[in-house]
Amino acid sequence: MDNRRQSAGGRGGGGGDRNNVSGNNANYTGGPGGNLAALDWVVGLRIRVVTIIDDTYEGTIYSYDPLTSTLALIQSPTNPPPTPVDENANVAQSYSPQDYRILKISFLKEVTVLAVPKQRSAAQPFTNSEPNIGTVDIAAVTAREKDAARAEAERIANKGVGVTKEAQDIYDALSRTMKCRWHGKQIIVFNDVFIDEPYTVDRVRSKDRGALARVEKVLEGERRKLDTQRRAATPISGERKGG
């Protein structure tokens, strides 16, 4: 009744017609967990497979992955969408929807070749092929590595060690418009303006009066912004209920 049981490696182990699947693939042994490691030579063949729970699928072999031991089949959808029509030309457009099914090789019990592709590929099987590797621009790679290392060093240098969140917020605000660096918990601006904890205007000192005035003005403005943002983020308590 069911011809599929006459395909590769039938349950009896000795009666099946292995020519259905062997071909050039002499390593195929059939049966559950059969050796399909050489199956990639039949990419493009249309096959029928029977799983160990007796589900049957038909499709064209799209790929075989020996690393994950999986087989990908291209199948036509059971209920394909209607063919779209070009209203201007009043003709049906070419539309070929496809479904893909991925199966574990160890999950297959029988494999039967239904049709061979019209044109066989001369390419090497996937299991024996080596991908083409293009040339690598060592100079460009080295430059990207240096840029990444420099960016990471700057990121680390701009993070204060052992400072409060407020101190880091002030530093970040100042560094957006002025060159800053940390020296311990001290913020140094323009290499000659020093800001000590708690980073208020009266804690700014420098011998350069012009730089001092500029940093004080910017610091005062940034502290006002931070205070405004902090107040806006603080939830307002409900009205007190009298008694």
Give the tens place of pLDDT for each residue, 97-122: 678 899 998 999 888 888 876 655 54
Domain-located, residue 238: no
The DSSP bridge partners found for residue 102 are: 72
20 with 107, same domain: the answer is: yes
Mean pLDDT across the chain, nearest whole number?
A: 74
Q: Does residue 132 sit within a domain?
A: no
Whether 218 contacts 177, CB under 8 Å: yes
The mean pLDDT value for 129-138 works out to: 72
pLDDT of res. 229: 84
The residue assigned the tokens 């904890």 is 197
At residue 131, the pLDDT reads: 58
- What are the beta bridge partners of residue 56? 50
Based on the fold, state whether residues 172 and 220 are members of the same structural domain.
yes
Q: What is the sign of the dihedral through the CA atoms of 147, 151, 153 and 154?
A: positive
- In eight-state DSSP terms, residue 23 is T
The C-alpha atoms of residue 137 and residue 149 are separated, in whole angstroms, by 18
Note whether 109 and 162 are same-domain residues. Answer: no
Residue 123 lies in a domain: no
Which tens digits make up the pLDDT trace of 145-204?
999 999 999 888 899 889 999 999 999 999 998 999 999 999 999 989 999 999 999 999
Do 71 and 162 lie in one domain? The reply is no
58 and 96 share one domain: yes
Read off the pLDDT band of 62 (50, 70, 90). confident
- Cβ atoms 99, 73 nearer than 8 A: no
- 173 with 104, same domain: the answer is no
Structural domain contains residue 201 = yes
Domain total for the chain?
2
- Is this structure's pTM higher than 0.85? no
In terms of domains, do 207 and 157 share one?
A: yes
Residue 239 lies in a domain: no
- Write the CATH number for 33: 2.30.30.100
- d(CA 129, CA 230) in angstroms, rounded, equals 62
Q: Is residue 122 part of a domain?
A: no
- Contact call for residues 153 and 147 (beta carbons, < 8 A): no
- Supply the pLDDT for residue 8: 38
Q: Is the pLDDT of residue 15 over 60?
A: no
Q: Using the predicted structure, report yes or no on whether residue 235 has a pLDDT greater than 80.
A: no
Whether 196 and 104 share a structural domain: no
Domain extent, residue 182, equals 143-233
In this structure, of 27-36, 126-135, 213-222, the range with the lowest mean pLDDT score is 27-36
For the chain, where are the E strands, in sequence order? 46-51, 56-65, 70-75, 85-86, 91-92, 99-104, 108-115, 180-183, 186-189, 193-195, 204-205
